[in-house]
A and B are shown apart, each in its own frame.
Chain A
Amino acid sequence: MNAPTDRHVVDVADAARERWQREYSAGVADQGDVVNVSGIAIAPLYTAADRPVGGDAALGYPGQPDYTRGIYATMHRGRTWTQRQLVGLGTPADYNARLLALLDRGASAVSLIPCNSVYRGLDADSVDVELLGTCGTVVNDAAHMARCLEGVDLARVSCAMNDPSPFTLLAFMLVVAERRGVDWSRITGTSNQSDYLSHFVANHMFYRLALPGARRVLVDHIAWCRTHLPRWNPMSVVGQHMQQAGATPAEAMAFTLATAVQNAEDCIARGLDPDEFLPRFTFFFDVSMSFFEEIAKFRAGRRIWARLARERLGAKDERSWRFKFHAQTSGVDLTREQPLNNIARVTAQAMAGIFGGLQSLHTDAYDEAYATPSEAGARIAIATQNILREEARLTDVIDPLGGSYYVESLTDAMEERIVAIMKTVDDAGGMYKAVESGLVQRMIGASAMRFQRRVESGEQVVVGVNKYRDDDAAEQRPPVERPDRAAIEQLRDALVAAKAARPAAAVARALDGLTRASEGDDGNVFAAVVDAARAGCSHEEICSRLRRDLGFGQPLVIV
């Protein structure tokens, strides 16, 4: 390996290494294994001996396959990440006020979290009024969406909505754009959470079309967007739910990649060319507290996806190989104890995401372990991003940890672990089957329990919870904001009145259009959803009809 002239250098290096090993062993009392959350043993020191074969050349360059160092040549030097804070609370008017304030303060894109009633496929008049608007905005029809987006230029601002199948929020927004004369071809953004598989696996935050129906609607949605919304990302593959539910970082990445492959293969089976839809695939991940593990997770994921897109899915266009992802700091890592500490946690997580090469970032508010984020909490979360970018200047260098002995070695180890988990999924028949059978849910449940036990044994430190407790920190408790009940009741009553005032025949016709699209293989269900939104149908009306026609899914019970 080494030329004879290098012999002396090697001898000196070996001697130095031996001396370090001796001194380290003498100096560190606890020689126990350090293992990261994904189960990879971590050495105390990494050196050139741990570098991948091929050295610097194998690292490659940003913007070039295999994209380990980033998917664009310019990365954060050219364009920093999109600051996309999730917001949603109360009525459409409440949402609009907060949205305009965030845009004023530097947020560069719109996001929308709907009320949990919307996730369930229900309108405001079908649920307990106590729960309306407490976790997101009540948006039940196109008129609500118009109010949400008042004063927002839909041709300029990128919109991402947490909008699971059948994507009614997008349909409502398209109707709003149409009425304002904004051409659909100018609309940019992402159908967040369009990934039905992650919902089945993890948080069940959608209204449960049965698996086959959800699969059908997703492919319809992707196919429709390709024709009508060329700048829209219809597919957001979600690792975030799974990691929040307890998956290790390696599992979350593996299941997400397996989901992307499943969805892509479903589209290919429909007759779509991978290069027509893969450039519009995006990913959404959690960034947890395990700093270097998270960075390695993202670097490894980029590399694996480039290979999968090219070799397994047959994509020829480089844009199809690029692993574009949004990251959100980890809500489950936030603590109720000493809540201001969460600002430090979010900062570390955001840094890991930035060093991991993200395209878009949501930083959690410090008060999320208490309640839905307050205005003040959301403001600090945005400031955290601004400080990291403009004061700490984390964006000055592309992939600044690239070439680090540790980071490169860990990237390789994470890649190996991720690929092995994907093999388990493939052996089970792919992600759809692995979710249908509950395999993925069981693996995640076991990891969640393992993590909880680590916390309880103290092996995993959580400051203020199992170490450094300070029971006098009560003064840090943030205020809780709940929506104004009178405004919510007024919104509900107005919705009931608006429904009654619609021409019933047009509504019935639009709902029958959903049935027709669902029955055959030729129709496009999402096209029918847009037509129904235009006809004034409500979210629940659309969801109920599709549940009837495509089947209502029940969550698997696995403990």
Chain B
Amino acid sequence: MNDPAPAGFRPRVLVTKIGLDGHDRGSRIVAAACRDAGMEVIYTPPWQSIAAVVKLALEEDVDVIGISSLATDHLIVPKLVAALRDAGLGEVRVVVGGIVPEDEARALVADGVRAVFHPGSTLDDITTRIRDYAGETRRARAGAEDGR
């Protein structure tokens, strides 16, 4: 059986910011760390619309979308998750990194966000888990293909 996510595969990751905030220290560092960890990184400036993120995810065939939120933009991430689902991209894993209060982080996960990275997370932990999630996405896609 072919493993759709072999150990050497290159995850495709979109690192972006939606909403209103422009603080990009975190997104730049995480993007660089993912790149250094051997992933394909698609990086955008801040302030992407949800529609733009969905379009990019589709065109670039990404496995994971990383949303950096330092100033409450995580509050509209559920809208992104819903929009991805509507576009048939429900298997793409969405992670959020930044300043997210605990109860709101739990609500995000309940709404379909794969993980929330808080300040203090190490780059190693972030990249390892993103790789794992990318593997999940690939397996989910392969599963969907098989079931067709």
> Chain A: residues with CB nearer than 8 A to chain B?
115-117, 119-120, 122, 127-128, 130-131, 134-135, 202-206, 244-246, 332, 335-337, 369-372, 445, 448-449, 452, 456, 462, 465-466, 477, 480, 554-559
Instruction: Assess A205 versus B32: contact at CB under 8 Å? Given A335-B119, A336-B118, A370-B101.
Output: no
A369→B119 CA distance, assembly (Å): 8
A461→B16 CA distance, assembly (Å): 29
**B75 vs chain A, min Cβ distance (A):** 4
Question: For residue A452, which residues in chain B have a CB less than 8 angstroms away from its CB?
Answer: 29, 123
B32's partner among A135, A336, A556, A559 (CB-CB below 8 A) is A559
Question: For residue A369, which residues in chain B have a CB less than 8 angstroms away from its CB?
Answer: 99, 119
The 3 tightest CB contacts between A and B, nearest first, are: A204-B22, A116-B20, A134-B72
Question: For residue A557, which residues in chain B have a CB less than 8 angstroms away from its CB?
Answer: 43-45
The answer to the question of B66 belonging to the interface, with a C-beta cut-off of 8 Å to chain A, is no
Instruction: Assess A480 versus B119: contact at CB under 8 Å? Given A204-B24, A559-B28.
Output: no
Contact between chains at B21 and A135 (CB < 8 Å): yes
CB within 8 Å of A: which B115-147 residues:
118-120, 122-124
**A450 vs chain B, min Cβ distance (A):** 11
B99's partner among A246, A370, A555 (CB-CB below 8 A) is A370
- Beyond A336-B118, A369-B119, A555-B24, 12 additional contacts (C-beta under 8 Å) are A131-B72, A134-B71, A203-B22, A335-B119, A336-B99, A337-B120, A370-B99, A445-B32, A449-B29, A555-B22, A556-B45, A559-B31
Instruction: Assess A128 versus B46: contact at CB under 8 Å? Given A246-B25, A448-B29.
Output: no
**B77 vs chain A, min Cβ distance (A):** 10
Contact between chains at A555 and B46 (CB < 8 Å): yes
The answer to the question of B76 belonging to the interface, with a C-beta cut-off of 8 Å to chain A, is yes
A372→B73 CA distance, assembly (Å): 12
**A480 vs chain B, min Cβ distance (A):** 4
Contact between chains at A128 and B76 (CB < 8 Å): yes
Contact between chains at A131 and B75 (CB < 8 Å): yes
Residue of B22, B119, B120 ringed by the most chain A CB atoms within 10 A: B22
Closest B residue by C-beta to A118: B20
Instruction: Assess A131 versus B44: contact at CB under 8 Å? Given A369-B119, A452-B29.
Output: no
Contact between chains at B120 and A336 (CB < 8 Å): yes
The answer to the question of B9 belonging to the interface, with a C-beta cut-off of 8 Å to chain A, is no
**A111 vs chain B, min Cβ distance (A):** 17
B35's partner among A119, A554, A559 (CB-CB below 8 A) is A559
A245→B31 CA distance, assembly (Å): 15
Contact between chains at A119 and B20 (CB < 8 Å): yes
Contact between chains at B29 and A135 (CB < 8 Å): no
The answer to the question of B103 belonging to the interface, with a C-beta cut-off of 8 Å to chain A, is yes
A337→B99 CA distance, assembly (Å): 12
Interface size of B in residues (CB-CB distance below 8 Å): 35
Question: For residue B120, which residues in chain A have a CB less than 8 angstroms away from its CB?
Answer: 335-337, 462, 465-466
**A76 vs chain B, min Cβ distance (A):** 32
Contact between chains at B24 and A128 (CB < 8 Å): no
A465→B120 CA distance, assembly (Å): 6
Of the A-B pairs whose beta carbons lie under 8 Å apart in the complex, a sample of 14, sorted by A's number, is A116-B71, A119-B22, A127-B20, A131-B73, A204-B45, A246-B25, A336-B120, A371-B72, A448-B25, A465-B120, A480-B103, A557-B45, A559-B28, A559-B32
A119→B22 CA distance, assembly (Å): 9
The answer to the question of B4 belonging to the interface, with a C-beta cut-off of 8 Å to chain A, is no
Contact between chains at B45 and A554 (CB < 8 Å): yes
The answer to the question of B104 belonging to the interface, with a C-beta cut-off of 8 Å to chain A, is yes
Question: For residue B71, which residues in chain A have a CB less than 8 angstroms away from its CB?
Answer: 116, 134-135, 372
Question: For residue A555, which residues in chain B have a CB less than 8 angstroms away from its CB?
Answer: 22, 24, 45-46
A203→B45 CA distance, assembly (Å): 11
Contact between chains at B25 and A332 (CB < 8 Å): yes
Instruction: Assess A204 versus B123: contact at CB under 8 Å? Given A246-B25, A445-B28, A480-B104.
Output: no
Contact between chains at B75 and A204 (CB < 8 Å): no
A558→B43 CA distance, assembly (Å): 9
Contact between chains at A203 and B24 (CB < 8 Å): yes
CB within 8 Å of A: which B33-64 residues:
35, 41, 43-47
Question: For residue B46, which residues in chain A have a CB less than 8 angstroms away from its CB?
Answer: 204, 555
Question: For residue A116, which residues in chain B have a CB less than 8 angstroms away from its CB?
Answer: 19-21, 71-72
The answer to the question of B3 belonging to the interface, with a C-beta cut-off of 8 Å to chain A, is no
Question: For residue B32, which residues in chain A have a CB less than 8 angstroms away from its CB?
Answer: 445, 449, 559
Closest A residue by C-beta to B124: A456
The answer to the question of B86 belonging to the interface, with a C-beta cut-off of 8 Å to chain A, is no
Contact between chains at B79 and A456 (CB < 8 Å): no
**B28 vs chain A, min Cβ distance (A):** 5
Contact between chains at B20 and A448 (CB < 8 Å): no
**B70 vs chain A, min Cβ distance (A):** 9
Question: For residue A119, which residues in chain B have a CB less than 8 angstroms away from its CB?
Answer: 20, 22
